[in-house]
Structure 1
């Protein structure tokens, strides 16, 4: 079973790398053809929470595959924490995309649909299944929620501070990764942005709590002794 999960993790990691690279190259070519700044585009591309979550997803899959091939028994606690964090981000990415972003029109031809589905649907579903069924997961305390919450807070601050400063020379407007983060296009400006930020924060914390609950109430096949209730 461990070897099987290791192989699947490698396959999913490669598939995701291909999806990220293909989308980056495809969009960069459009930017270049339009006379845009490819360097500016590259920073923007890796400022999407989706891309950052999927990069973390690839790292987790490759480390996890290595453990499947080289270890037996429970994973190190730090890796279970990392898995929980990235699983939370990926599941949240899938929820937010499918509830808030799926029906938003995108520039014609700039988005690879197959890549979009891998990054927003296939990846989140697989990592949740991996968390549920792959051996090696250890039980985690609920204070891991602090780790889960830390990066989204930093990302939101970075996005809101950088947004007014990141002027797209093609449009002359500030750049934000998602429409609901842009106070200039939101119905009530920063009030609307604050609402969506708090809503997504609540989703992240709820998903994270469920992920940690699963680790405590449904121990992995190789889980070590139970941890005390936090």
Structure 2
């Protein structure tokens, strides 16, 4: 598995990028054709596209898989992955697993405002890559165990994304409708959820899912991985111990 897993990571990364590009091209095609009718503005369309949690999570997954593969190919042996890479993989795995859960339980079948979707791309972004990240968590060799503080680190990006989304929403004119607001997902729109109180409930629910998923990801890593032990003196390099967490 150590031999071929990096290549599987690279293939999955390429697939994720292809799916993102395919959906972006379709979105831009629709925007260009309907520009007069919509009063569309391509920079806004592109910014909206990259404001979806799904897209950003898949970008993170593609980067994490590619970087992880390159690191493994250039560092042959039994050494566990470095801490920074372990954190990147924990974050990407958490976001993609949450994306798969939320989409397939709450959003599947709901028309989203990015326009017509590319069927295969939609399944790759919402099903295939989440499953790939889950498999990577469960089976990838040379994983490093992390302390529980990694759970808090995974929460930083979703918090920033929610704040960004709620602030930006009322500063953007939706290209497809002309509305003076734009939300990437229906559960973030206070007009559809009885006000910001309803939105807060959805945010808290998804936050709980993210924290629970991150805890699961970190727990699996602690069960499977190795971690650097603390050096006994400033001059002594850290070693590695199986199943020990910092």
Q: TM-score, normalised by structure 1?
A: 0.93
Is 1:142–1:212's contact at 8 Å kept on the other side of the alignment? yes
Unaligned runs of 5+ in 1: none
Distance 1:170 1:212, change over 3 A: closer
| CA deviations over 1:5-51 (Å, ceiling 9, x no partner) | 11111111111111000100011100111112111100000000000
Q: Which runs of 4+ in 1 moved over 6 A?
A: none
Is 2:189–2:199's contact at 8 Å kept on the other side of the alignment? yes
Distance 1:168 1:67, change over 3 A: same
Q: Which residue of 1 aligns with 2:136?
A: 130
The higher radius of gyration belongs to 2
Q: Which residue of 2 aligns with 1:48?
A: 52
Count of matched residue positions in the alignment of Structure 1 and Structure 2: 228
| CA deviations over 1:129-148 (Å, ceiling 9, x no partner) | 01111111111110111110
Q: Which residue of 1 aligns with 2:211?
A: 205
Unaligned runs of 5+ in 2: 227-238
Query: Which residue of 80, 94, 101 corresponds with 1:88?
Result: 94
Between the two structures, name the one with larger relative contact order (CA 8 Å, sep ≥ 6).
Answer: 1
Is 2:145–2:245's contact at 8 Å kept on the other side of the alignment? no
Task: Give the structure with the higher percent helix.
Answer: 1
Is 2:45–2:175's contact at 8 Å kept on the other side of the alignment? no
Distance 1:139 1:103, change over 3 A: same
Whole-Å separation in 2 of the counterparts to 1:95 and 1:68: 29
Distance 1:108 1:60, change over 3 A: closer
